[in-house]
Amino acid sequence: MNMRAPTLVASVLPADFSELGEEVRRLEKAGVDRIQWDVMDGRFVPNLTFGPDVISANRGHVSMGFEAHLMVDDPDPMLAKWVEAGCEIVIVHAESVRHLHRTLSVIADLGARAGVALNPATPLEAVTNVLDLVDLLLVMTVNPGFGGQQYLATMERKIAAARAEIDERGLDIELEVDGGIAAGTIGAAARAGADVFCAGSALLNGAGTLEDRATALRSAATDGIESR
């Protein structure tokens, strides 16, 4: 059983967009490991956020990793832009590309780590034939498009199946969950098999300091992983 230490990723979707530089600096200072840039095109999801220029404008403010979560139709034409903007990981949705094997190969050729995301209704089987090309598998625990939604516990079967597939094949893949990850849900996601946890609202809002919330989430994730 793969027992990595948890990685805590902050989604900037609920951040104050008028002060993104300060927000990412605060998140790094609070001990978050990586930033997730929720890229939305208003077509793949009913929301519109930011492009590569916004990401590159923030690259110099922090040294932590950036991942681009591309919730867009047809991400292929712009793959290089996210890497040039400073993202070390580029995550495409399996539902958004026609030739996923080729898309993942292109991301690797660009020198980035390749991620693939699955919407709640998409089975794990959609990616089992390309896991050899995957560095990060993102299991959505909400329907993508907005922060602050309810965690879908029904996704834990898919998380557990992904964990089993990764471990059985000895693959070096980060298993990330995203959507409604908070103090009350992160333990269950960790027990199911996740080792990377993306949180937006639970990190950027809530009682106590940002550091307290980051520490509490990381501690709950660690307990969940260790209790598998």
Please, what is the minimum distance in Å from the beta carbon of residue 129 to ligand DX5?
25
Among 33, 41, 135, 178, the active-site one is 178
Catalytic-residue membership of 167: no
Q: Which is nearer to ligand DX5, 2 or 74 (CB)?
A: 74
Is the separation of the CB atoms in 130 and 101 below 8 Å? yes
Please, what is the minimum distance in Å from the beta carbon of residue 17 to ligand DX5?
13
- Pick the closest to residue 9 from 90, 67, 82 (CA basis): 67
Please, what is the minimum distance in Å from the beta carbon of residue 132 to ligand DX5?
25
Burial 31-69 (b: 16+ CB within 10 A, else e): ebbbbbbbbbbeebbeeebbebeebbebeeebebbbbbb
Residue tagged 């960790």 (tokens) = 190
Catalytic-residue membership of 38: yes
Q: Which is nearer to ligand DX5, 118 or 199 (CB)?
A: 199
Residue 40 phi/psi, 5-degree rounding, is: -130, 140
Please, what is the minimum distance in Å from the beta carbon of residue 74 to ligand DX5?
18
Q: Which is nearer to ligand DX5, 172 or 188 (CB)?
A: 188
Residue nearest to ligand DX5 (CB): 200
d(CA 117, CA 44): 13
Instruction: Catalog residues that contact ligand DX5 under the rule CB under 6 A.
Output: 11, 13-14, 36, 38, 69, 142, 144-145, 147-149, 178-181, 198-202
Q: Which is nearer to ligand DX5, 50 or 105 (CB)?
A: 50
- Catalytic amino acids? 38, 178
